[in-house]
């Protein structure tokens, strides 16, 4: 989990998705990185369960998973996880 969160580009992707779902083309424009690099980072976030996709015609939209906060909290050591308050 922390490997997925340990990269500044992936944190930027999560920040971009914190407001609403975004098309991959919007993410690429906002982050200014090459398409293949963005695809790599999105794959890491998908495999970690932090983002989900949906298809809209030929476009792919990304959004934070409903369980993203719970997944991150579960990865914390017990004392930290118990003191973490997650709000939806």
CATH number of the domain bearing residue 16: 1.10.10.10
Range of the domain at 54: 2-83
Number of domains in the chain: 1
User: Is 40 among the domain residues?
Assistant: yes
pLDDT band at 62 (very low <50, low <70, confident <90, very high): very high
Cα angle value 42/45/47 (rounded, 5°):
110
Residue 82 has pLDDT above 70, yes or no: no
Q: Determine contact, residues 40/24, Cβ cutoff 8 Å.
A: no
| Residue 61 confidence (pLDDT) | 92
28 vs 19, higher pLDDT: 28
Residue 50 has pLDDT above 80, yes or no: yes
CA 88 → CA 36, 62, 64, distances in Å?
32, 18, 12
User: Is 88 among the domain residues?
Assistant: no
User: Is 53 among the domain residues?
Assistant: yes
Q: How far is CA 56 from the centre of its chain?
A: 19
pLDDT band at 7 (very low <50, low <70, confident <90, very high): confident
């Amino acid at each position: 989990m922390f490997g997925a969160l340990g990269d500044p580009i992936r944190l930027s992707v999560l920040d971009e998705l914190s407001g609403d779902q975004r098309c991959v083309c919007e993410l690429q424009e906002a982050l200014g990185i090459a398409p293949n690099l963005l695809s790599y980072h999105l794959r890491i976030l998908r495999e970690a369960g932090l983002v989900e996709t949906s298809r809209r015609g030929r476009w792919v939209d990304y959004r934070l998973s409903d369980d993203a906060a719970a997944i991150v909290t579960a990865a914390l050591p017990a004392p930290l996880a118990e003191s973490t308050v997650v709000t939806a």
